[in-house]
């Protein structure tokens, strides 16, 4: 079986943690999928925006932290999975042990 789609994997990461910063999610996805570069980093940020707009995840906070962004001033966002997102994961078989 191939790897799960990026949206699904991001939801799985958030389901296993209380909350995660976007750069933490980015680092895991890039490593697991063997991706690199600004295109894929941007794709992950846009996917998080899409999941938030779809109501599956909550935005908890934002901050600027140059130490987490290689010295550049970038806005960091922290997210957590909400009950609707968890239910959609259950319905689509993304939660382990469900189908």
Domain boundaries, the chain: 6-92
Is the pLDDT confidence value at 97 over 60? no
CB contact set of 70 (below 8 Å; sequence gap of 6+): none
- Residue-level pLDDT at 68: 59
CB-based contact 75:62 (threshold 8 Å):
yes
Q: What is the DSSP letter of 37?
A: S
User: Region 32-53: what's the mean pLDDT?
Assistant: 96
Is the pLDDT confidence value at 24 over 90? yes
Confidence at 1, pLDDT banded by 50, 70, 90: very low
Per-residue pLDDT of 61-96, as tens digits, reads: 999 876 655 666 778 999 999 999 999 999 999 986
User: Region 37-51: what's the mean pLDDT?
Assistant: 96
How far apart are the C-alpha atoms of 76 and 45, rounded to whole Å? 10
Q: Burial letters for 71-89: b for 16+ Cβ neighbours within 10 Å, e otherwise?
A: eeeeebbbbebeeebbebb
Given this structure, which CATH class describes domain 6-92? mainly alpha
Per-residue pLDDT of 2-18, as tens digits, reads: 689 999 999 999 999 99
Q: What percent of the chain has pLDDT over 70?
A: 87
């Amino acid at each position: 079986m191939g790897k799960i789609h990026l949206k699904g994997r991001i939801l799985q990461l958030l389901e296993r943690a209380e909350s995660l910063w976007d750069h933490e999610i980015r680092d895991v996805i890039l490593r697991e999928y063997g991706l690199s570069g600004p295109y894929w980093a941007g794709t992950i940020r846009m996917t998080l925006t899409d999941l938030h707009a779809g109501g599956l995840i909550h935005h908890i906070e934002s901050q600027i932290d140059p130490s987490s962004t290689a010295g550049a001033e970038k806005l960091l966002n922290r997210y957590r999975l909400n009950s609707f997102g968890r239910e959609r994961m259950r319905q689509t078989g993304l939660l382990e042990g469900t189908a």
